[in-house]
Structure 1
Amino acid sequence: MKTKQILTAGAIALSMILTGCSSSSTETKDTKTAEIAKKKEVKTIGQKTKDSKSLKMTNNTGKKITVFETKSSSEESFSDNLLENGDAVKNKEQRTLYYTVKENDKLDVKIGLQDQDKTFVFKDVDTTDTKKVDVSLKDDKVNLDVTKKDGTTATLTPSEDSAKTEDEKKDETEVKQEEKKEETAKADSSNKSNTSESKKDNTASTTNTSSNKNNTGSSSKPSNNNSSNSNNSKPAEHTHNWVAQYKTVNVPEKGHNEQVLVQAAYDEQVPIKEMQEFTFCSTCGANITGHAVEHLENSLNCQGYYTDWREVTTGYNTVHHEAVYETRYVVDSPATTKQELTGYKCSGCGKTKAN
């Protein structure tokens, strides 16, 4: 009986241990799965909806993108910044952009970089068959490098007035407001003048009516008050809507000529050559110049000798070579273009004014 109780208790303990191990193993797997899912999570720009479209966007500007706004091309104002506070698209980071455009519309995009007070606006971006978009930076201007699904590419540049600073836009707004105030003041002055003329005409009309009543039997000329009132009424003054006008100015390349060393100066040792006569043993071939008789007398086998003229180096002359230079053109700043303000033009009547 005791043996059965011991076995039963052991089985229960083993079951609890196995259950604990299984639970721990499951929790570990769940944690790893969550970590893997977190690593695979891709950040987006904008919210995915049933009507939204999407495309891949990569930041290749070398800086962080802190402003990203979109709108349909027929809409007047952009959306709020699609990047939340503290969020920025890092350099080389790829994200999925979700956007919504109206039917038959194209996409307008506004982009701003970190530590810059400029934003860059791209109007009427055709996203049809677009595979991906790379945001790049060239000559302090943001560009959109669009790659189509067929492999073709195109570079989109920002609109002419989009790269203005907020201060420049503020100045233009203030100019427009001053123009509107002047036009409003002129219109008010004209209206006051018309009102005064109208009052005078009404007074004259009342006087004429009274006179007509007192002189019922006499003939009178018809009143021209209606004609006077008609001439004094003026159409409403036109309010100019001044739009800044720009022209593209070519900035030529700048550079200078400079001397570049091709070969450094050096000294060359040139040997001095001359012909000299030598005596050689006819038997062993030894050079016995100056002691031919002694050589033959002291040798048992050598018999006879001959002479020969040969060229020898007797010294060296030092020849100096000057350094060699050539002129090369060095580019200081490459040719480029810039936008220059030329004046303002009214979008309503076409009138222009100088800057």
Structure 2
Amino acid sequence: MKTKQILTAGAIALSMILTGCSASSTGTKDTKTTEVAKKKEVKTIGQKTKDSKSLKMTNNTGKKITVFETKSSSEESFSDNLLEDGDAVKNKEERTLYYTVKENDKLDVKVGLQDQDKTFVFKDVNTEDTKKVDVSLKEDKVNLDVTKKDGSTATLTPSENSAKTEDEKKDETEVKQEEKKEETAKADSSNKSNTSESKKDNTASTTNTSSNKNNTSSSKPSNSGSNNSGSSKPSNNNGSNSNNSKPAEHKHDWVAQYKTVNVPEKGHNEQVLVQAAYDEQVPVTEMRAHDICNQCGADLTGTDIPAHMENSYLNGGNCGGHHTEWRETVVGYNVVHHDAVYETRYVVDSPATTKQELTGYKCSVCGKTRAN
């Protein structure tokens, strides 16, 4: 009876152990699944659409990126910040950037870092053959380090004055607006002055005409039955005076224009050591006679042949004769010197890259252009 109770208790215990192991195994699998899901989750910048393109972007600035905006190169203004409130691209973090550009256009990019009120603008970024982009920070300026699909690299620098603070840009805008208001006020004042002068001229002309009418009337006899009176129409000088007022010229707002210039790779040829010099020992051989045991094949040349036979007999061997063979024998060495071996290899001093080159200036108001 006791034996049966012991067996029953053991079965229950074994069942509980197996159930616990199963639950633990399931929990471990769920944890691993969650971890894999977290690893597969990749953050993006921008929204993926049917017309959007994408590329890999990594933050190597050492700081967080809090502003990231894009636009097609022909568009006037950038999009809203593609990073939502509270979101930032951490240092060493890689994300997939989704962007849309118009046909035959290139990509313009604006980047801003945490705790800085500066933003950096990159114009005409060619993304057709771009594999990935690393955002770096050099001398307090953000740069784009581009890796192309063929493995070559290029560094894009921000356009001139793109790193101004928002306050500086605001001040410039306010100054320009004040200048435009002054120009408009001067033009209005000039037009009012010309109009006033024109009115004075018209008044004087009307007075003279009236005087002439009176003089003509007094010189001629009155004829109540006649409708022909010596009246003349007053002249109007408004047209001639209004032509003298010229529209005020606006002050040009010159904006620097750039083009992307390819800087070719630079390098040189140099001699590289492939094999160091060395001396080789080359053996010298001759054909010489050797005494060979008929039974065991031992080389008995220069040895006591009878002693070999006796020793074989005493140890149960059967060596009893020998013969002569001619063999190639090393008799010395010749030293052969080998010179060092070099080959010509091309060494890259600076890889191919691109730079922004100033081409001239364009007025943002009237579109007029001028050279550097």
Do both share a fold (TM > 0.5)? yes
- Confirm whether residue 149 of structure 1 aligns to residue 161 of structure 2: no
- Confirm whether residue 113 of structure 1 aligns to residue 113 of structure 2: yes
Kept in 1, the 8 Å contact 2:205–2:234? The answer is no
| CA deviation vs aligned residue, 1:37-78 (integer Å, no higher than 9, x gap) | 232110000011111110000111111111101111111111
Q: 1:197 deviation in Å?
A: 2.0
| CA deviation vs aligned residue, 1:250-290 (integer Å, no higher than 9, x gap) | xxxxxxxxxxxxxxxxxxxxxxxxxxxxxxxxxxxxxxxxx
Cα distance between partner residues in 1 of 2:238 and 2:181: 33
Cα distance between partner residues in 2 of 1:65 and 1:349: 35
TM alignment of 1:80-229, pairs within 5 A? 80-208=80-208, 210-211=210-211, 214=214, 215=216, 223=235, 225=237, 228-229=240-241
User: Could you say if the C-alpha distance between residues 245 and 25 of structure 1 is closer, same or farther in structure 2, counting changes exceeding 3 Å?
Assistant: closer
User: Could you say if the C-alpha distance between residues 42 and 111 of structure 1 is closer, same or farther in structure 2, counting changes exceeding 3 Å?
Assistant: same
What SS class does the counterpart of residue 128 from structure 1 fall into?
Answer: coil
TM alignment of 1:24-39, pairs within 5 A? 32-39=32-39
Report how many residues are paired. 237
User: Could you say if the C-alpha distance between residues 185 and 73 of structure 1 is closer, same or farther in structure 2, counting changes exceeding 3 Å?
Assistant: same
Structure 2 gaps, min length 5 = 1-20, 217-227, 258-360
TM alignment of 1:299-338, pairs within 5 A? none
| CA deviation vs aligned residue, 1:268-315 (integer Å, no higher than 9, x gap) | xxxxxxxxxxxxxxxxxxxxxxxxxxxxxxxxxxxxxxxxxxxxxxxx
Cα distance between partner residues in 2 of 1:92 and 1:22: 40
Structure 1 gaps, min length 5 = 1-20, 247-343
Kept in 1, the 8 Å contact 2:209–2:234? The answer is no
Cα distance between partner residues in 2 of 1:38 and 1:131: 25
What SS class does the counterpart of residue 145 from structure 1 fall into?
Answer: strand
Match of 1:238 in 2: 249
Cα distance between partner residues in 1 of 2:22 and 2:206: 109
Match of 2:79 in 1: 79
Q: 1:226 deviation in Å?
A: 5.5
Q: 1:206 deviation in Å?
A: 3.6
Cα distance between partner residues in 1 of 2:256 and 2:42: 43
Cα distance between partner residues in 2 of 1:346 and 1:72: 21
Kept in 1, the 8 Å contact 2:136–2:142? The answer is yes
User: Could you say if the C-alpha distance between residues 179 and 185 of structure 1 is closer, same or farther in structure 2, counting changes exceeding 3 Å?
Assistant: same
Kept in 1, the 8 Å contact 2:209–2:233? The answer is no
Kept in 2, the 8 Å contact 1:240–1:346? The answer is no
Q: 1:209 deviation in Å?
A: 5.0
Cα distance between partner residues in 1 of 2:37 and 2:76: 40
Q: 1:108 deviation in Å?
A: 0.6
Q: More displaced, 26-35 or 50-59?
A: 26-35
Cα distance between partner residues in 1 of 2:232 and 2:206: 15
User: Could you say if the C-alpha distance between residues 128 and 226 of structure 1 is closer, same or farther in structure 2, counting changes exceeding 3 Å?
Assistant: same
Q: 1:153 deviation in Å?
A: 1.4
What SS class does the counterpart of residue 191 from structure 1 fall into?
Answer: helix
User: Could you say if the C-alpha distance between residues 345 and 96 of structure 1 is closer, same or farther in structure 2, counting changes exceeding 3 Å?
Assistant: closer
Cα distance between partner residues in 2 of 1:223 and 1:153: 78
Q: 1:165 deviation in Å?
A: 1.8
| CA deviation vs aligned residue, 1:147-169 (integer Å, no higher than 9, x gap) | 11111211100001111122322
Identity %: 85
What SS class does the counterpart of residue 97 from structure 1 fall into?
Answer: strand
Q: 1:229 deviation in Å?
A: 2.2
Match of 1:64 in 2: 64
What SS class does the counterpart of residue 133 from structure 2 fall into?
Answer: strand
Q: 1:131 deviation in Å?
A: 0.7
Q: 1:111 deviation in Å?
A: 0.4
